[in-house]
Amino acid sequence: MADSSQLVVLAPHALYDYSGRPRRFLDAVPMSSHGRALVGSWFQNDEQLECDYSRKQGGALRRFSAAFRLVWKNYATLRQARMIYCLNSMHYTVLLLLSRCGLFSTEGKIIRRVAYHDTALQRLVSSLQNASPAFQLDCITSEQYATTAQQLGAHRVILRPWKIDTGWFQPPDDVPKTRILLPGNISRDESIVAPLLHGGLSITRIARVDYLQARFSDEIANPRFELVVNASHREYLEHLHAAPMVLLPIVPCDNPAGLTAAMEAISAGVPVLANHSMGLTELFSECHYPVPMLHNLDPDAWARECHQIEDQRDSPDFLAALENSRQLLLKRHSILPAGEDWEQIFAEACAADSTVCEAAFGAASSPA
């Protein structure tokens, strides 16, 4: 018998155990009372996920095949769902192809996916022009939303502010400060590290990419530099708490690089120094952030601002401004407990589309 869940989330993978790590926004679990997660592969922890999935998922054809199998296996459940949220582009593509072939009805449904990259959004806009209006997109920055809504129509694009686990990224108790932290895997200006070290600053570069060991082969010998690769979530939090500030030198890219790292630092009360880039400019403005953003990646300008932050780090006015920004972040960017984010997403979809609302709640209130 098909499951009658009103909201179905299609996920390529999920974890059985989320203890000892921060929750991730739009994770497949926990799910709301109206929803059900259909998951391609389950894993015990992040290490197993990295080893058995991320490094072995293969090319596009293999990923498309896995997505098709999950959709086809749960075809009856998806037919009855009123809202389908795809956490993977392949699931969305499979449903789009089935719809175009007349093998999947989208009547009375909303089918969404979140997109992070401008290049992906442009491809999606092109492919959705003549598709069923049931297929919609979530954007996580106002810049992406404005562009995509203009091209596709505001009724098919939703601004979905990004969220983090602010309960995990709490300000620390009195922790000795060690090195400036430069976190993130991609879209960081690595060339800025050497001149900052030469200027007397101490830096920890932390990421989950092994190639940085070769990139910083010379800097590793410097006692003021530390390279941390593949740290656990707990270890990352310890490095964040010990940092006098976080640096986010973002190179030009097509996605809101550094957005999660900035939110985590603001939530933890650690000063953030960043340059103007997609997502970060919007976040700093929204949170009334007291640290001015830089307009370029000039190492001398970054060094001056680092010393400026060091000089005012213990100032009561500066600390109060950081806390004010933190409170503004908590109001808009905190993951809700117990699947309430999915409940909110579903309720908003119902409010925006009366046919979905009637189908979802009208059927539930009908006599048996």
The CATH number assigned to the domain holding 315 equals 3.40.50.2000
Q: Is pLDDT of 103 > 80?
A: yes
Give me the pLDDT at residue 64, please.
93
The residue type found at 244 is P
Whether the full predicted model's pTM is greater than 0.95, yes or no, is no
Q: In terms of domains, do 225 and 131 share one?
A: no
CATH number of the domain enclosing 59? 3.40.50
pLDDT, mean over the chain: 91
Give me the pLDDT at residue 367, please.
33
Contact 8, 39 (CB under 8 A): no
Structural domain count of the chain:
2
Q: Does residue 140 fall inside a structural domain?
A: yes
Q: Is pLDDT of 93 > 70?
A: yes
Q: Does residue 81 fall inside a structural domain?
A: yes
180-183 sheet: strands from edge to edge: 225-229, 203-207, 180-183, 246-248, 272-274
Q: In terms of domains, do 268 and 293 share one?
A: yes
Q: Does residue 268 fall inside a structural domain?
A: yes
Dihedral over Cα of 249, 250, 256, 261: its sign: negative
Taking CA atoms, 1 is separated from 35, 80, 91, 208, 305, in Å, by 17, 11, 22, 43, 62
Q: Does residue 19 fall inside a structural domain?
A: yes
Give me the pLDDT at residue 356, please.
52
Question: What's the CA gap between 278 and 145, in Å, rounded?
Answer: 12
Q: Does residue 229 fall inside a structural domain?
A: yes
Q: How confident is the model at residue 365 (pLDDT cuts 50, 70, 90)?
A: very low
Give me the pLDDT at residue 210, please.
86
Q: Does residue 2 fall inside a structural domain?
A: no
Q: In terms of domains, do 285 and 341 share one?
A: no
Q: Does residue 209 fall inside a structural domain?
A: yes
Question: What's the CA gap between 310 and 153, in Å, rounded?
Answer: 47
Residues 6+ apart with CB under 8 A from 71: 10, 78, 91, 94, 95, 98
Q: Is pLDDT of 338 > 90?
A: no
Q: Mean of the pLDDT values across residues 205-216? A: 93
Q: Mean of the pLDDT values across residues 97-116? A: 95
- Token pair, residue 33, equals 């009372």
Q: In terms of domains, do 154 and 218 share one?
A: no
Q: In terms of domains, do 219 and 149 share one?
A: no
Give me the pLDDT at residue 173, please.
86
Q: In terms of domains, do 221 and 359 share one?
A: no
Lowest mean pLDDT among 39-53, 219-233, 343-357: 343-357
Q: In terms of domains, do 101 and 158 share one?
A: yes
The rounded radius of gyration (Å) of the Cα atoms in the chain is 22
Q: In terms of domains, do 148 and 269 share one?
A: no
Q: In terms of domains, do 61 and 142 share one?
A: yes
Contact 162, 260 (CB under 8 A): yes
Q: In terms of domains, do 115 and 204 share one?
A: no
Q: In terms of domains, do 101 and 225 share one?
A: no
Give me the pLDDT at residue 366, please.
36
Question: In terms of residue numbers, what domain contains 356?
Answer: 7-163+335-365
Q: In terms of domains, do 317 and 209 share one?
A: yes
Q: How confident is the model at residue 3 (pLDDT cuts 50, 70, 90)?
A: low
